[in-house]
Structure 1
């Protein structure tokens, strides 16, 4: 993103009353209760238009401006609370920032391509679905793409293998596995031949034959 970036802006209104009853009234009016905090200032209880907020979410805007009665602040979307079915937004938390300052956020990992090992019957597992990224607030990526086109059975991609935007840094431990391909379930370990090992079935008559030989 260039340095002449422009933030989206939505209007907000102060909330004079708090509580669950008032929050329900606000939501029935097509607005979402919100709290803005950070920068060592008192938390501000506001409400934003439901449609405006959904547009920002749809466009994956995480950093934007809010205009509260003419006072404009730069904020980052920190948390969304949804109803049980994930249909309605119940509440939103915003954090005051400077769009050119560094922030630490959780960024989703997106797998790209098809793993040859998975096509051969291997089990593709993704232990890490998000990574903790330190970057400029106005440069937060929508996701971190990870290409798995070369992953064979037994291969893994670690945090240290992930490419990040210029100037960004991942806080997760470098040796953590992001995605790997495991052998198919039920496949014996290499070198474990059928009929060998402690659980191999006993051959009928084998003990009697050995006893006869000893006699």
Structure 2
């Protein structure tokens, strides 16, 4: 799992106006919470944070106020501008080495479905799991090779890295294969429509 060091500063100004000023400086307002401590309001560098968040469940080593405080955190909620995509706000969860945390890990697929024009439905795009804070998997990969309509992949079918456990029921459906819907009407219906048009 990736660990990224980011410098941050505590902030004492709040509200929309303060948030806009922070963003104009290419920075992002954020909150660090967890372990029963009071939320710590932070200002984080926009570009560094954007690059870090490209890795799901990235472990962030926070250097706060020039090293006065050092904390480990994982992203829990990220708000982006719906049109431009830039970061508007981030919630970070405080973690410690050795601590078990619950996160959602992206599900990736490999292989090809059986011939026949079947459709693959992602019932879950991410799999809820529990893992040690410094060893959270970036993703899990599932083989769909040869699957056909009616086949499904359950949570228990997915191989997890050592030390990672499911936090959903074993029989939770993660992926399922559907029949492609016929776009053309059956021949009998087409003939009836033609007769009606001629009449």
Band of TM-score, shorter chain: 0.7 to 0.9
The Cα shift of 1:48 comes to 0.5
Instruction: Tell me if 1:171 matches 2:190.
Output: no
- Residue deviations 1:150-204, cap 9 Å, x none? 31232211111011111111111211211122234359xxxxxxx9xxxxxxxxx
The Cα shift of 1:142 comes to 1.4
Secondary structure, in 3 states, of the residue corresponding to 2:142? strand
Greater strand content: 2
| Alpha carbons 1:112, 1:148 under 8 Å: kept | yes
The Cα shift of 1:86 comes to 5.0
2:62 to 54, 57, 66: 66
Superposition pairs for residues 8-27 of structure 1, below 5 Å?
Answer: 8-27=4-23
| Alpha carbons 1:63, 1:99 under 8 Å: kept | no
| Alpha carbons 1:36, 1:96 under 8 Å: kept | yes
Task: State the alpha-carbon separation in 1 of the partners of residues 122 and 37 from structure 2.
Answer: 40
| Alpha carbons 1:65, 1:74 under 8 Å: kept | yes
Q: Which runs of 5+ in 2 are unaligned?
A: 189-199
| Alpha carbons 1:108, 1:143 under 8 Å: kept | yes
The Cα shift of 1:123 comes to 2.6
* Structure with more contact order per residue of length (Cα contacts < 8 Å, sep ≥ 6): 2
Instruction: Tell me if 1:89 matches 2:87.
Output: yes
Secondary structure, in 3 states, of the residue corresponding to 2:17? helix
Instruction: Tell me if 1:130 matches 2:122.
Output: no
| Alpha carbons 1:121, 1:184 under 8 Å: kept | yes
Task: Name 1:45's counterpart in structure 2.
Answer: 41
Task: State the alpha-carbon separation in 1 of the partners of residues 87 and 110 from structure 2.
Answer: 30
Task: Name 1:114's counterpart in structure 2.
Answer: 112
Secondary structure, in 3 states, of the residue corresponding to 1:139? coil
Task: State the alpha-carbon separation in 2 of the partners of residues 18 and 164 from structure 1.
Answer: 41
Q: Which runs of 5+ in 1 are unaligned?
A: 188-194, 196-215
- Greater C-alpha Rg: 1
- TM-score, length basis structure 2: 0.85
The Cα shift of 1:105 comes to 0.2
1:7 to 3, 10, 13: 3
- TM-score, length basis structure 1: 0.79
Task: Name 1:80's counterpart in structure 2.
Answer: 78
- Residue deviations 1:17-59, cap 9 Å, x none? 1111000001001110000111111111110000110121235
Instruction: Tell me if 1:105 matches 2:103.
Output: yes
| Alpha carbons 1:123, 1:181 under 8 Å: kept | yes
Distance change (3 Å), C-alpha of 1:66 and 1:17: same
